[in-house]
Amino acid sequence: MSHLRQEPTGRDEMTMHQLITAEGIRVADALLDEFVDDVDGEQLRNLYRDMVVIRRIDFESTALQRQGQLALWPPLLGQEASQVGSVRALEDEDFIFPTYRENGVAYCRGAKMADALGVWRGNTNIGWDPYELNMATPQIIIGAQTLHATGYAMGLTLDGKDSMALAYLGDGATSQGDVHESMVFAASFQAPVVFFCQNNHWAISEPVGLQSHVPLAGRAPGYGIPGLQVDGNDVLAVLAATRWAARRARSGGGPSFIEAITYRMGPHTTADDPTRYRGVTELEEWGAKDPITRMHSYLLELGMLDDGAQAAIAAEADAVAADLRLACISLPDPAPQAAFEHVYVDAHPLLEEQRVNYLAYLNSFGEQEKTSVTVQGSPS
Amino acid sequence: MSHLRQEPTGRDEMTMHQLITAEGIRVADALLDEFVDDVDGEQLRNLYRDMVVIRRIDFESTALQRQGQLALWPPLLGQEASQVGSVRALEDEDFIFPTYRENGVAYCRGAKMADALGVWRGNTNIGWDPYELNMATPQIIIGAQTLHATGYAMGLTLDGKDSMALAYLGDGATSQGDVHESMVFAASFQAPVVFFCQNNHWAISEPVGLQSHVPLAGRAPGYGIPGLQVDGNDVLAVLAATRWAARRARSGGGPSFIEAITYRMGPHTTADDPTRYRGVTELEEWGAKDPITRMHSYLLELGMLDDGAQAAIAAEADAVAADLRLACISLPDPAPQAAFEHVYVDAHPLLEEQRVNYLAYLNSFGEQEKTSVTVQGSPS
Amino acid sequence: MTTLSLTQAINAGLRRALEEDPKVVLLGEDIGTLGGVFRVTDGLMKDFGSHRVIDTPLAESAIIGTAVGLAYRGYRPVCEIQFDGFIYPGFDQIVSQVAKMHVRTQGAVRMPLTIRVPFGGGIGSPEHHSESPEAYFVHTSGLRVISPSNPQDAYTMLRQAIACDDPVLYFEPKRRYHAKGEVEVDAPLVQALPMGASRIVAAGTDVSLVSYGPLVKTALDAAIAATADGVSIEVIDLRSLSPIDYAPLVASVRRTGRLVITHEAGRTLGLGAEIAAVITERCFNYLESAPVRVTGFDIPYPPSKLEKHHLPDLDRILDGVDRALGRPNSHTGMDDWA
Amino acid sequence: MTTLSLTQAINAGLRRALEEDPKVVLLGEDIGTLGGVFRVTDGLMKDFGSHRVIDTPLAESAIIGTAVGLAYRGYRPVCEIQFDGFIYPGFDQIVSQVAKMHVRTQGAVRMPLTIRVPFGGGIGSPEHHSESPEAYFVHTSGLRVISPSNPQDAYTMLRQAIACDDPVLYFEPKRRYHAKGEVEVDAPLVQALPMGASRIVAAGTDVSLVSYGPLVKTALDAAIAATADGVSIEVIDLRSLSPIDYAPLVASVRRTGRLVITHEAGRTLGLGAEIAAVITERCFNYLESAPVRVTGFDIPYPPSKLEKHHLPDLDRILDGVDRALGRPNSHTGMDDWA
Ligand SMILES: Cc1ncc(C[n+]2csc(CCOP(=O)(O)OP(=O)(O)O)c2C)c(N)n1
Ligand SMILES: Cc1ncc(C[n+]2csc(CCOP(=O)(O)OP(=O)(O)O)c2C)c(N)n1
Ligand SMILES: [Mg+2]
Ligand SMILES: [Mg+2]
């Protein structure tokens, strides 16, 4: 009886596009350079600030989870450049279909972060109004949102709009049938959609090599969709790559696929224990490629980050975190009837009956407590 | 409001491997030649004979459907070379997972064709014993069988066997999520499976261009799986290509994908009316590439098909068809209790109760006819 | 009034919806040039263009999933699933996305999808072409499920479904596709019976007989046949399977004291189970006998030569009526339960 | 006898099956190195190798579909679906392939798959992590569906499921994962109660209370609480949801005349519907009141801060018992049905 997995022959390699090295050195890239010609020092510093604030939000949220204020939190630690670079390449009317991990993206889109945390507190499944932010709510079913983005993009074409949709997905997600079908539909209808894959090297405990022996971006050409690999810890390169894809989409060039090579520095979620499946050397290796550190070096080099600017950014991050904490712990519990609301738009007599009966039942207890402790069990 | 589909930019082209041209001329192919070195004139004639007999079976079955003996028939007219070339490349212990259209394959595997027609007569869903033929029963859910083949192949690896599994699929099937997931699993586990795609240019009324603007075989490399395009109307090239893939699979080289370029000369099924969606020029064009005609020319050229041989083959085809017709029209209707059999292996008291009650109910009518005409409606 | 077959009535309903609302788009396999394998969408692509009547690649999850995205963008997609047995690859998108998007977004996003599914048996088809999967969707909160039994309802209920802001599964009784009937195509939609309402289609006093979709005709035939025997059957066409409009049923059973439910789907957790449970809850003191279910067996749909055994027919329905009435000529002795 | 938690009992059952039969293989996401997100498969890959305990790519349809192929090849695959809400992408393979392969091949091919699904709510999880999808599978002919409520049953029934030549959906009550109990691991399987059997877990005389999986404990608590009120509840643990072993239920209801069914799944076409219908059929003349269903509401599973309202608890079960008894202290007035 022999083992299943074997090393494949003929492993393809792709070029990973990069503009700022791990050491913070700006390097040239023939494809991407033109897309960031206009990015000046201040814009660079803004990208840096975004990343710093997002990391602070992420830490605060992890802390809130540890303190029992959140049921769960999916950290994005290490993926700040991928999230900031991609969302900052978009126009406001471009529509985003995220997973559960794009909380940095949501911040950049203007989400009230305490509302976003409402999802992880167990209050609600909506973290923001999709039509206010032009961003769908967090998607937990792996890969499902890529079809929604494709359909939305088909709608944009039908409307004669020159905006686009962008779907975030993880490396693990690329194995799902829905992601394939998205690419098939996107290619068939030349839909203005960008598939932005954050290859953070892990799907919970599964290394990306389990999903594919060859680069994920290499899937796209098989559909007639261009695929690009970019350094996902290089915010400038991600910005440029997403602008490249966006220009294609908006000008009728159809879909494209971006694989941002990054790393999930934290656990899958706060319920996860990554020490069970990965070593410290890998973490250290990726620590050296940190997206914030390299931008810090580059800005210093450019002379765009004096002490004052740095202090201001730190203060902003602290303020955002403090607001977030306060707003989060003050989020009111949802009222019982919320469970029955918005299940349907139109009247639904049977559910209405259940609602009325249950509320009458609840009321019948009056001030007196219900005797049972309803929900036992452990966190997931 | 603009239309959805647009011409893609950068259409890839692949080489279609061929050994015998439409005119019946043997041409060289650097990759494939070595795989048919051993094929002598007699073997070539046998391949020809297979195709002739299969076409005869196909015609007879269509006729049986027209005469009300079958509820439906999915003709394989035009795809004889793809089916014969691929199945004849396999060893008996290699396991085949077909669709509904691989009746030519079933014939070559030794299926009793009248039994195979039982499926289309509505008697049964099994056309043959899968373990007798090492061939699964016809799969109607598009793409589902590719996962079964992959799992079977994983089992072969676990068993330390050097045989393989082969999944047939259509061009339309390539859009299904299951086919993608098969490729992901096959690549991840380096399973000895061959995906044999008959691109017959149509999925019912949908041209293959709707599923993909670029060659289907070009999907495979994105998974780290080699993809090969072969002239599906050239039985020798198909034989060679399948042997190429089989050698890879059996020697631990993992999965591969073959796109056999062929054409569905008939309707999708006898219930279909292709004049609604395709013109005659296309049919004529493909008629000139007929798999049987070209083999006929080649054999004549080789001096392997004198009048005697040709008459013998015709006689064999006639005999097979006559047997088939007789056996088909004599197939007995299944007994009522068959509906309840083999739903479960182990005892199932509730279903047993339903069975007993229903049979008692039926018996209660005695000789007297039931009053109602149970099943109205029209053919599908 | 025009005489239309059920397929023609659906076609007319789709046409009307495409005319009235530019946000209506049709998606499906072979619905364009071919006009669908049942010709339900015949001529629509020609008349409305391939941007309104969209032949999609062969992938059901994507048909539903891109429709979700189109709905996000403000469209009202009408998806065709070619046959009942091909809805399962799209099940995840229906159950986890279509059904939940509105509640997930606290009402911000609407999913006015209509998912058309030809369903049921009786046409001699191969495997996977004769399924009755409606119970899966009735059990799924967030969806509405309807099934017309005649051309007029097919036309009106389809238009109502497309106009409805909730997602609607629209199950078409495919073996009744060629049944003809008078259809009033120009009556204002607001005056029509709501799509959620059930309807008494034959008045009777002895037994209430409930069905929907393909078996309503058979139920009516049974009612006629029963009069010869002196039994008066009240026939109710559910029309809406989720939610069920119980008021007419409850009123009927309180009059007759007896209930028979018939459907093609397997008995265990078929709609008959829910109806029997609810009617027992609401009419316990009125029931003279236990509700009787006359249904398909708990088997995968059998090969077509066996379907006449699987499908409830007039005789089996009448046998069920006999059981409900406790009449000795009941053939099955099904009250011998132990 | 060993004291094991429910997860440990399942782990022990898997281990035993892996030891006893080389054809048993485990497939799933994160089941290997990690040992599963609930640690149910902890240590198994280390001890049996990555060819027996297989971390698969992230694709549920493929997990089921390749298991079908492995079963074709003579294996007995045990698939883990990470959470209830992630089974739907695999629905097509389960419903159209797993459930039908044996009958399709007239018995030639067997599908001895076990599909493990942690299910139900009560652990404060986000969306899609607290579903109760069992009814979909109970309605699907060709499958068996079971759900243990305690460590001993979890161990024994899992081994029986893996040994069974039919496909079995094995629903694990995840909020009871840490419940501990005495487990006899070495008792011969042939002497164990068959996995298809239901069991009376508390004797009583006034009302029969039926449940399964996560709510059996709550039902037992309710029975204890009710004694203070002078009400004697007989509690039945279904154990097998398909087929249901009705004999003990029928006997119980014929004694008590009253039935309450409780489950987390939504009410409409939840298991309670079938049980109410069948018990009404078989016990009509014994019933003092209509069977009462105490269930989740017909809503998508709500955000976790609301789950305490959605999930039946001791109070709601006792309220249901009061209704079954027609006692005036019933809070809900649910018999006011109109
Ligand atoms: C359909 C489905 N299957 C399984 C899961 C459980 N699950 C949640 S996250 C995850 C891993 C996702 O990995 P990846 O796509 O790489 O995204 P990442 O978490 O790394 O951002 C899994 C398996 C799920 N949410 N949905
Ligand atoms: C899941 C599923 N969806 C739809 C169908 C209906 N259908 C049957 S055959 C077919 C076309 C298949 O085309 P292709 O894969 O090219 O195979 P071909 O018929 O050309 O051999 C379709 C859409 C089906 N059988 N299964
Ligand atoms: Mg990942
Ligand atoms: Mg085809």
* Nearest chain C alpha carbon to D261: C277
Residue B4 confidence (pLDDT) = 60
Residue A366 confidence (pLDDT) = 80
Please tell me the distance from the alpha carbon of residue D281 to that of residue D269, in angstroms, as a whole number. 17
- Determine the average pLDDT of the residues in D304-318: 98
Please tell me the distance from the alpha carbon of residue D238 to that of residue D244, in angstroms, as a whole number. 7
Q: Closest Cα partner for C148 from C5, C296, C6, C314? A: C6
Question: Which residue among B125, B130, B151 sits closest to D68, beta carbon to beta carbon?
Answer: B151
- Determine the average pLDDT of the residues in D302-309: 98
Question: B-contacting residues of D 5-64, CB under 8 Å?
Answer: 25, 51, 56-57, 59, 61-62, 64
C119-157 burial code (b ≥16 CB/10 A, e <16) = bbbbbbbbbbbbbbbbbbbbbbbbbbbbbbbbbbbbbbb
Residue C41 confidence (pLDDT) = 98
Residue B377 confidence (pLDDT) = 36
Interchain contact, C62 vs A182, CB within 8 Å:
yes
Interchain contact, A152 vs C73, CB within 8 Å:
yes
- Determine the average pLDDT of the residues in A106-132: 97
Res D23 pLDDT > 70: yes
Q: Does D302 touch chain B (CB under 8 A)?
A: no
- Report the percent of chain D where pLDDT is more than 90: 96
CA distance readout (Å), A146 to A52, A217, C186? 28, 15, 40
Three-state SS at C79: strand
pLDDT tier at B1 (50, 70, 90 boundaries)? very low
Q: Does B149 touch chain D (CB under 8 A)?
A: yes
Residue A317 confidence (pLDDT) = 98
- Dmax (CA) of chain D: 61
Residue C55 confidence (pLDDT) = 98
Instruction: Give A257's contacts in chain B (Cβ within 8 Å).
Output: none
- Determine the average pLDDT of the residues in C47-58: 98
Residue B281 confidence (pLDDT) = 95
The full set of domain ranges for chain A reads 2-329, 336-377
Residue D1 confidence (pLDDT) = 86
Interchain contact, B276 vs C35, CB within 8 Å:
yes
pLDDT tier at C20 (50, 70, 90 boundaries)? very high
- Residue whose CB lies within 8 A of the most ligand 1 atoms, among A142, A264, A269, for a mutation test: A142
Q: Per the structure block, which two tokens stand in for C246?
A: 């119980």
Q: Among all ligands shown, which has an atom nearest to the Cα of A272?
A: 1
Ligand 1 binding pocket, CB closer than 6 Å? A 101, 140-142, 170-173, 200, 202-204, 264, 268; D 29, 58, 60, 82, 86, 89
Whether the CB-CB separation of C109 and A350 falls below 8 Å is answered with no
Residue A161 CB burial class (10 angstroms; 0-12, 13-18, ≥19):
middle
* Nearest chain D alpha carbon to A212: D57
Residue C329 confidence (pLDDT) = 54
Interchain contact, C96 vs D103, CB within 8 Å:
no
Whether the CB-CB separation of B143 and B195 falls below 8 Å is answered with no
A275-333 pLDDT, tens per residue?
Answer: 999 999 999 999 999 999 999 999 999 999 999 999 999 999 999 999 999 999 999 99
Interchain contact, C85 vs B141, CB within 8 Å:
yes
Residue B380 confidence (pLDDT) = 35
Place of tokens 């099956």: D17
Q: Closest Cα partner for A295 from A205, A235, A244, A346? A: A235
What residues pack around ion ligand 4 (CB closer than 5 A)? B 170-171, 200, 203
Question: Which residue among B147, B177, B343 sits closest to D68, beta carbon to beta carbon?
Answer: B147
Q: Is the ipTM of this complex over 0.95?
A: yes
Res A360 pLDDT > 80: yes
Please tell me the distance from the alpha carbon of residue C202 to that of residue C179, in angstroms, as a whole number. 19
Please tell me the distance from the alpha carbon of residue D338 to that of residue D332, in angstroms, as a whole number. 14
Res A18 pLDDT > 80: yes
- Report the percent of chain A where pLDDT is more than 90: 92
Res B9 pLDDT > 60: no
Question: Which residue among C56, C72, C166 sits closest to A152, beta carbon to beta carbon?
Answer: C72
Q: Comparing A246-260, B362-376, C53-67, C80-94, which segment has the lowest mean pLDDT? A: B362-376
- Residue whose CB lies within 8 A of the most ligand 2 atoms, among C82, C92, C125, C129, for a mutation test: C82
pLDDT tier at A14 (50, 70, 90 boundaries)? confident
Q: Kindly give, in sequence order, each residue whose CB lies less than 8 Å from that of residue D114, ignoring residues fewer than 6 positions away.
A: D76, D77, D78, D79, D158, D161, D162, D164, D167, D168, D170
Answer yes or no: D129 catalytic: yes
Question: Which residue among D57, D308, D313 sits closest to A175, beta carbon to beta carbon?
Answer: D57
Please tell me the distance from the alpha carbon of residue C58 to that of residue B174, in angstroms, as a whole number. 8
Residue C337 confidence (pLDDT) = 42
D34-43 pLDDT, tens per residue?
Answer: 999 999 999 9
Size of interface B-D (CB pairs under 8 A): 139
Q: Which of the following is catalytic: D51, D102, D128, D129?
A: D129
How many other CB atoms are found less than 10 A from the CB of residue A50? 22
Residue B367 confidence (pLDDT) = 61
Rounded to the nearest integer, the mean pLDDT of chain B is: 94
Q: How far apart are the first and last CA of chain A?
A: 36
Q: Among all ligands shown, which has an atom nearest to the Cα of B139?
A: 2
Residue B6 confidence (pLDDT) = 44
Whether the CB-CB separation of A100 and A138 falls below 8 Å is answered with yes
C99-153 pLDDT, tens per residue?
Answer: 999 999 999 999 999 999 999 999 999 999 999 999 999 999 999 999 999 999 9
Atom of ligand 2 nearest to the CA of B173: 15
D226-276 pLDDT, tens per residue?
Answer: 999 999 999 999 999 999 999 999 999 999 999 999 999 999 999 999 999
- Determine the average pLDDT of the residues in A141-158: 98
Please tell me the distance from the alpha carbon of residue A209 to that of residue A175, in angstroms, as a whole number. 11
Residue D335 confidence (pLDDT) = 45
Q: Does A373 touch chain B (CB under 8 A)?
A: no
- Can C2-191 and C199-325 be said to share one CATH topology? yes
- Residue whose CB lies within 8 A of the most ligand 1 atoms, among A204, A262, A269, for a mutation test: A204
Residue D330 confidence (pLDDT) = 52
Residue A5 confidence (pLDDT) = 53
Residue B101 confidence (pLDDT) = 98
Interchain contact, B157 vs A181, CB within 8 Å:
no
Please tell me the distance from the alpha carbon of residue A78 to that of residue A60, in angstroms, as a whole number. 15
Res D114 pLDDT > 80: yes
Res D132 pLDDT > 50: yes
Res A379 pLDDT > 50: no
Atom of ligand 1 nearest to the CA of A199: 16
pLDDT tier at C30 (50, 70, 90 boundaries)? very high
B56-108 pLDDT, tens per residue?
Answer: 999 999 999 999 999 999 999 999 999 999 999 999 999 999 999 999 999 99
* Nearest chain C alpha carbon to B362: C331
Interchain contact, D66 vs B343, CB within 8 Å:
no
Atom of ligand 2 nearest to the CA of B144: 1
Residue B370 confidence (pLDDT) = 55
Please tell me the distance from the alpha carbon of residue B231 to that of residue B238, in angstroms, as a whole number. 7
Q: Does D205 touch chain A (CB under 8 A)?
A: no
Please tell me the distance from the alpha carbon of residue D90 to that of residue B336, in angstroms, as a whole number. 32
- Determine the average pLDDT of the residues in D195-217: 98
B197-224 pLDDT, tens per residue?
Answer: 999 999 999 999 999 999 999 999 999 9
Q: For the CA atoms of chain C, what is the radius of gyration? A: 20
Residue of D26, D30, D48, D149 to mutate, testing the A interface (most A Cβ within 10 Å of its Cβ):
D30
Q: Which is it for the CA torsion B125, B131, B132, B134, positive or negative?
A: positive
Q: Which is it for the CA torsion A293, A297, A299, A303, positive or negative?
A: positive
* Nearest chain A alpha carbon to C112: A345
Q: Closest Cα partner for C121 from C238, C243, C215? A: C215
Place of tokens 């002196």: C230
Q: Look at phi and psi of residue C292 and say left if phi exceeds 0, alpha if psi is from -120 to 50, else beta.
A: beta
Instruction: Find the B142 Cα to ligand 2 centroid distance in Å.
Output: 5
Instruction: Find the B170 Cα to ligand 1 centroid distance in Å.
Output: 30
- Determine the average pLDDT of the residues in C182-187: 96
- Determine the average pLDDT of the residues in D24-30: 98
Rounded to the nearest integer, the mean pLDDT of chain C is: 96
| Residue C24: strand pairing partners | C76
Instruction: Find the B210 Cα to ligand 4 centroid distance in Å.
Output: 11
- Rounded to the nearest angstrom, the minimum Cα separation between B330 and chain C is 14
Chains near C with 3+ CB pairs less than 8 A apart are A, B, D
B110-159 pLDDT, tens per residue?
Answer: 999 999 999 999 999 999 999 999 999 999 999 999 999 999 999 999 99
Architecture of domain C199-325: 3-Layer(aba) Sandwich (3.40)
Pairing relationship of beta strands A165-170 and A95-97 according to DSSP bridges: parallel
Rounded to the nearest integer, the mean pLDDT of chain A is: 94
Q: Comparing A73-77, A340-344, B6-10, D24-28, which segment has the lowest mean pLDDT? A: B6-10
Name which CATH class applies to D2-191: alpha beta
Query: What's the one-letter identity of residue D108?
Result: A
CATH of A2-329, one of 3.20.20.70, 3.40.640.10, 3.40.50.970, 2.60.40.10: 3.40.50.970
Please tell me the distance from the alpha carbon of residue A377 to that of residue D166, in angstroms, as a whole number. 32
Rounded to the nearest integer, the mean pLDDT of chain D is: 96
Q: How many CA atoms lie within 13 Å of B72's alpha carbon, on the beta-carbon side?
A: 24
Place of tokens 């069991």: D199
Instruction: Find the B94 Cα to ligand 2 centroid distance in Å.
Output: 25
Q: Per the structure block, which two tokens stand in for A251?
A: 């000008």
Residue A368 confidence (pLDDT) = 58
- Determine the average pLDDT of the residues in B252-281: 97
Instruction: Give B131's contacts in chain D (Cβ within 8 Å).
Output: 108-109
Chains near D with 3+ CB pairs less than 8 A apart are A, B, C
Q: Per the structure block, which two tokens stand in for A46?
A: 């803004």
